[in-house]
Amino acid sequence: MKAEDIALREPNWPKRTTQVSNAYSNKTELPTLFCILTILAYFSHHAGYLFVVLAWVFVVFRALHAYVHVTSNKPNLRGALFGLGSVVLAVMWVIFIFQELTGT
């Protein structure tokens, strides 16, 4: 590959490089919300056992998603893992917001 072929972000990268790059980009989306939530839960003392278990479930789904993304890259499986991780994160946010509003 020549530098001028990709100098202005032209889509001329090899398939494998694009695949890994997309996997990395994907790892910076939901995890940002996850990190914000865990920091908020920690400082508000709402990081109970359920929260910690759900956090680990989320991490496992993200790791599996990354593995599929850089290996077989099967869209249906990758999408399911992403979706399940998203649902877990949404549940974590709902629990956190409920606890903040009710003071429990």
How much is the mean pLDDT over the chain? 87
Question: Average pLDDT for residues 6-18, to the nearest whole number?
Answer: 68
In order, the DSSP letters of 52-103 are: HHHHHHHHHHHHHHHHHHHTT--HHHHHHHHHHHHHHHHHHHHHHHHHHHHT
Q: Is 94 inside a domain boundary?
A: yes
Q: How many domains does the chain divide into?
A: 1
pLDDT tens-digit series, residues 22-73: 777 777 788 999 999 999 999 999 999 999 999 999 999 999 998 998 889 8
Q: Is 3 inside a domain boundary?
A: no
Q: Is 8 inside a domain boundary?
A: no
State residue 34 phi and psi, 5-degree precision.
Answer: -65, -45
Q: Is 6 inside a domain boundary?
A: no
Q: Is 38 inside a domain boundary?
A: yes
What pTM does this model have? 0.78
Q: Is 2 inside a domain boundary?
A: no
Range of the domain at 56: 16-102
Q: Is 22 inside a domain boundary?
A: yes
Q: Is 10 inside a domain boundary?
A: no
